[in-house]
Amino acid sequence: MARILGYIATSLDGFIATEGDSLDWLFEYNDLDLGEYDYRNFIKRIETIVMGRGTYDFLARDNSPWAYGEQRVLVVTSKPIPNTKGHLETRRDVDDLIAELRGLSDGDVWVLGGGRLQMAFIERCALDAIEIYVMPELIGAGRPLFPPTGFRTRLRLLQANALGRSCVRLHYAFDHSPQGKNPV
């Protein structure tokens, strides 16, 4: 059974992008050496990438080549994507998608991008673990790491690491036991 993972960076005040959907604040850390936790190491074990339409559109607007030619890419959307950038498939129903992903046995799954899709997986107890990279920036406003939905759950800290340039890596597993998930 595939593990479904999150891997995401956030500002210290809990935003993943500015109000204008800019990641310029984060790109200032592109030279940050994360050692064994580096994205290039993480992506090697990922066979399937799941992203929402907003994340896909953001990536498609970028002029660089499609970065996910080695992975199966699934975009959750209700609208067709004309002239796709890179090979991808679309899915409409998150519950059906989760069942499909749980049936995979060829490697890990990464829920890439914004907090809305990650929150949909969390609410369905379908995210197994998440690595959150907290960057030493206050950006004041923007897209929240996890949009408020009223859902409550408990996580177990697996590891915390102080990395270079005051970045902190938090690695959590989700507690899927009945007492660990509590809708508020």
Mean pLDDT of 11-31: 95
- pLDDT of residue 63 exceeding 80: yes
Residues in the chain: 184
- pLDDT of residue 88 exceeding 90: yes
Give per-residue pLDDT as tens, 101-131: 999 999 999 999 888 999 999 999 999 999 9
pTM: 0.92
Mean pLDDT of 149-169: 96
List of domains in the chain: 4-168 (3.40.430.10)
Which pLDDT belongs to residue 115?
86
Q: Report the distance separating Cα 148 and Cα 156, nearest Å.
A: 20
Residue 23 main-chain phi, psi, to 5 deg = -110, 15
Which pLDDT belongs to residue 182?
47
Are the beta carbons of 174 and 125 closer than 8 angstroms? yes
Mean pLDDT of 15-34: 95
- pLDDT of residue 93 exceeding 70: yes
- pLDDT of residue 177 exceeding 80: no
Question: What angle separates helix 94-102 from helix 115-123, to the nearest 10 degrees?
Answer: 70
pLDDT band at 176 (very low <50, low <70, confident <90, very high): confident
Which pLDDT belongs to residue 184?
40
Percent of the chain beyond pLDDT 90?
91
Pairing of strands 155-162, 143-144: unpaired
Lowest mean per-residue pLDDT among 59-68, 74-83, 173-182: 173-182
CA dihedral for 182, 130, 10, 12, sign (positive or negative): positive
Q: Decide: helix, strand or coil at residue 28.
A: coil
